[in-house]
Amino acid sequence: MLKKIIFIVAVFTAPMLLAQGTEAPSKHAYVGAEVCGMCHKTEKAGKQFVIWKESAHAKAYETLKTEKADSIAKAKGFTTKAVETEACLKCHVSGYNIDASLKGPKFKMEDGVQCETCHGPGADYKTLKIMKDKKEAIANGLHFYSTEEERVALCKTCHNSDSPTFDEKTANFAAMWEKIKHVIPAAK
Ligand code: HEC
Ligand code: HEC
Ligand code: HEC
Ligand code: HEC
């Protein structure tokens, strides 16, 4: 009996252990930055879409198409172009390795590091009713970062020494946040 229980536990936990270290598997679908932008564009909302669009994150896919990127990939021993190399895509875009059924019509991998890369795939939290209720939004897949520690931990999932161009000595996470900060203006 005990053996049987151990067997069952092993069968069910093995896939969870294997999943660690890759982009977290999700049952929620991606909608794409433009869909988030419909409500997160105005001055009153805090212009999150506009700020993101002008940031380096929106260009992270384009960066992989440059000669510099190809030479970095080559130096690392990859024989494919940077933009076709999984080991580069994993930090530069969202959704390169997900099932087509989890990509909405407006989702584009070419949008690079986008809203849903940091906030979680949004198909199930993007409605106004759910968005207005933070608890509900989180229950439906929204990732939110309440403290500076949580925020820096998020940055460090990509801004770390696995990145060929990362420099530990010059990395300043507070200054980096200032460059991409996109807060909701305080209600007057
Ligand atoms: C239909 C409009 C709408 C869409 C589409 C939408 N949002 Fe929102 N979102 C809102 C509203 C309204 C709020 C609440 C703003 C407030 O508290 O002032 C909000 C709040 C948020 C918050 C802050 C949570 C909180 O309560 O502090 C995040 C993060 C967020 N949205 C991300 C996204 C992302 C990412 C997408 C795309 C996947 C998205 N939103 C799509 C309307 C929308
Ligand atoms: C999913 C991976 C990922 C996450 C998470 C991430 N970044 Fe980035 N970030 C990138 C990539 C890739 C680039 C390079 C984009 C380019 O130049 O094409 C970048 C570039 C930047 C840049 C411009 C270059 C620089 O160092 O000045 C800033 C600023 C930045 N990120 C801030 C942040 C902050 C702050 C966080 C955490 C809140 C964060 N990033 C989280 C992947 C990520
Ligand atoms: C662990 C995450 C990660 C991986 C893996 C990664 N990058 Fe990046 N990449 C970043 C981040 C973050 C930045 C922003 C600058 C920095 O701090 O390194 C960046 C910036 C870049 C830049 C712009 C640098 C500049 O100063 O012009 C290029 C080019 C680049 N990466 C190419 C690649 C290539 C090619 C690969 C695959 C061999 C790769 N990256 C793999 C995270 C990553
Ligand atoms: C690189 C990661 C990253 C990307 C990309 C990103 N966000 Fe955020 N976002 C964060 C973090 C971290 C916070 C938490 C803010 C804090 O620590 O004060 C946040 C906060 C927010 C908030 C709440 C602000 C507040 O004042 O409560 C909204 C709304 C939001 N993001 C929407 C978006 C939308 C829409 C996009 C795409 C257009 C987007 N974010 C792209 C990391 C990101």
- pLDDT digit string (tens) for 116-161? 999 999 999 999 999 999 999 999 999 999 999 999 999 999 999 9
pLDDT-derived band of residue 8, with 50, 70 and 90 as boundaries?
A: very low
85 Cβ below 6 A of ligand 3: yes
pLDDT-derived band of residue 27, with 50, 70 and 90 as boundaries?
A: confident
Side-chain half-sphere exposure of 104, counting CA atoms within 13 A? 17
Question: Atom 18 in ligand 1: which residue has the minimum CA distance?
Answer: 184
Q: Which atom of ligand 2 is nearest to the CA of 157?
A: 5
CA distance 66 to 165: 14
Give residue 92's Cα distance to chain centre. Answer: 9
Give residue 80's Cα distance to chain centre. Answer: 23
Distance 63 CA to ligand 3 centre (A): 8
Which residues, judged by CB distance below 6 Å to any ligand atom, belong to the binding site of ligand 2? Answer: 56-57, 59-60, 63, 91-92, 113, 117-118, 151, 154-155, 157-159, 176-177, 179-180
Distance 179 CA to ligand 2 centre (A): 10
CA distance 70 to 125: 37
Distance 125 CA to ligand 1 centre (A): 8
pLDDT-derived band of residue 26, with 50, 70 and 90 as boundaries?
A: low
Q: Which ligand is nearest to the CA of 165?
A: 3
Q: Which atom of ligand 4 is nearest to the CA of 51?
A: 38
CA distance 122 to 95: 13
Alpha-carbon distances, residue 14 vs 8, 10, 72, 96, 111 (angstroms): 10, 6, 35, 24, 33
Distance 151 CA to ligand 2 centre (A): 12
User: Which residue, chain included where needed, has tokens 């010059």?
Assistant: 170
Q: Which ligand is nearest to the CA of 137?
A: 1
Distance 157 CA to ligand 2 centre (A): 10
The pLDDT value recorded for residue 25 is 58
